[in-house]
Amino acid sequence: MYNQRGKYWVIVNRQTGKNSSSTTPASSPPKRVAMPYTRASAKPNAASAVSLKTPAKSLLKGNSVSPSRGPLSPSPSGVKKRRQPSKYAPPSKYAHLKPLTDILEANLICVFVGTNPGVQTATAGHAYAHPSNLFWKLLHSSGCTGRRLRPEEDVDLPRLYRMGNTNIVDRPSKDAAELSKDEMTAGAAVLEEKFAKWRPETVCIVGKGIWEAIWRNKKGKALKAADFKYGWQDECNNMGMVEGDETWKGSRVFVATSTSGLAASMKPAEKEAIWKVFGEWVKNRREELAGDIPSTSGEPPVSS
């Protein structure tokens, strides 16, 4: 048996010196005294050796013990499973979900470009609807919006703030890894057509991966690390330019960070610092157009 401290004790017959499990009858009721277990006082068989040496506290915690293998590992139900990386999924996998409707019209200050609708966003029918996505939070903290909007208010972006929204790929998926590189590049060509039609002043790319696809479409090659930078891009990379139209120089491009909850390569403060640059420009430009402050050139800063 065990004492209160979890140490094993054996009940020994003081008269015979044997443990209480002996089958030899006693002439009178034996006096029993608790003595610490030692190899000299008792020799348990092999099957019980593990259980005798196992502290009582371990048994009280519910840990199973195997004589041949020792303590068993904890139940898998209590272990947090690692998220399995995604791989390409065909459009048929999410054919039951509808793509989002573009929020585009003329005379917009900026249009945000996301990757594609996630499952929860497509189900809700509104942009950046997943609770872990920081899009609406960053729009507010950066100054793009005067308050934090709800996903269902995405349709009010043009009316309230002269902003719009679209995606480089229309079809929904769990994440960007389920999209192919070819469809991302093809989507970049479609974006050029959209911006040539609606002609927003600026385009905000929500994530480096989107800009990499646009770069492949523009340059016909991969974007090198030396050529990448967050923030305002060179004017030669404007989007929606129309050949032969000298009056339209295209939409200036600002590359911001991804707002997805899965994108954890940058700290929140780093993301906010990048978004703040764009938000301040949007806020000032909106005030200029409203006549609240004297208008400057109305153009984004020139990239260095």
Q: SS3 for 125? A: coil
CA 103 from centroid of its chain's CA atoms: 25
Report whether pLDDT(90) > 90.
Answer: yes
Q: Which of 136, 96, 92, 94 is nearest to 114 (CA)?
A: 136
- 246, 194 contact by CB (below 8 A): no
- Least confident segment among 25-39, 130-144, 238-252: 25-39
For residue 291, give both structure tokens: 């006549």
Q: Which of 246, 154, 251 is nearest to 195 (CA)?
A: 251
Is residue 255 included in any domain, yes or no? yes
Is residue 196 included in any domain, yes or no? yes
Can you give the pLDDT at residue 71?
Answer: 52
Report whether pLDDT(13) > 90.
Answer: no
Is residue 134 included in any domain, yes or no? yes
Can you give the pLDDT at residue 181?
Answer: 95
Is residue 247 included in any domain, yes or no? yes
Is residue 162 included in any domain, yes or no? yes
Can you give the pLDDT at residue 235?
Answer: 96
Can you give the pLDDT at residue 29?
Answer: 52
Q: Which of 88, 245, 281 is nearest to 177 (CA)?
A: 88
Query: pLDDT higher for 164 or 17?
Result: 164
Can you give the pLDDT at residue 124?
Answer: 96
Distance from the first to the final alpha carbon of the chain? 80
Query: pLDDT higher for 158 or 1?
Result: 158
Can you give the pLDDT at residue 284?
Answer: 96
Can you give the pLDDT at residue 31?
Answer: 55
Can you give the pLDDT at residue 32?
Answer: 54
Is residue 80 included in any domain, yes or no? no
> Which residues lie across from 167 on neighbouring strands?
114
The whole-chain average pLDDT of the chain stands at 81
Q: The tokens 């996998």 sit on which residue?
A: 93
Strands (E), the chain: 9-13, 32-36, 65-66, 70-71, 110-114, 163-167, 202-206, 231-232, 252-256
| Residue type (1 letter), 298 | G
Q: SS3 for 297? A: coil
Can you give the pLDDT at residue 251?
Answer: 98
Mean pLDDT to the nearest integer, 186-214:
98
Is residue 57 included in any domain, yes or no? no
| Total structural domains within the chain | 1
Reported as a pLDDT band with limits 50, 70 and 90, residue 298 is: low
Q: What is the pTM of this model?
A: 0.71
Is residue 44 included in any domain, yes or no? no
Query: pLDDT higher for 35 or 230?
Result: 230
- 254, 232 contact by CB (below 8 A): yes
Q: What is the CATH number of the domain that holds 272?
A: 3.40.470.10
State the Cα–Cα distance between residues 171 and 97, nearest whole angstrom.
Answer: 8
Range of the domain at 264: 106-292
Report whether pLDDT(160) > 70.
Answer: yes
Tens digits of residue pLDDT in 208-249: 999 999 999 999 999 999 999 999 999 999 999 999 998 999
The percent helix, strand, coil of the chain (3-state, each to 5) is 35, 15, 50
Tens digits of residue pLDDT in 49-77: 444 444 544 444 444 444 445 555 554 55
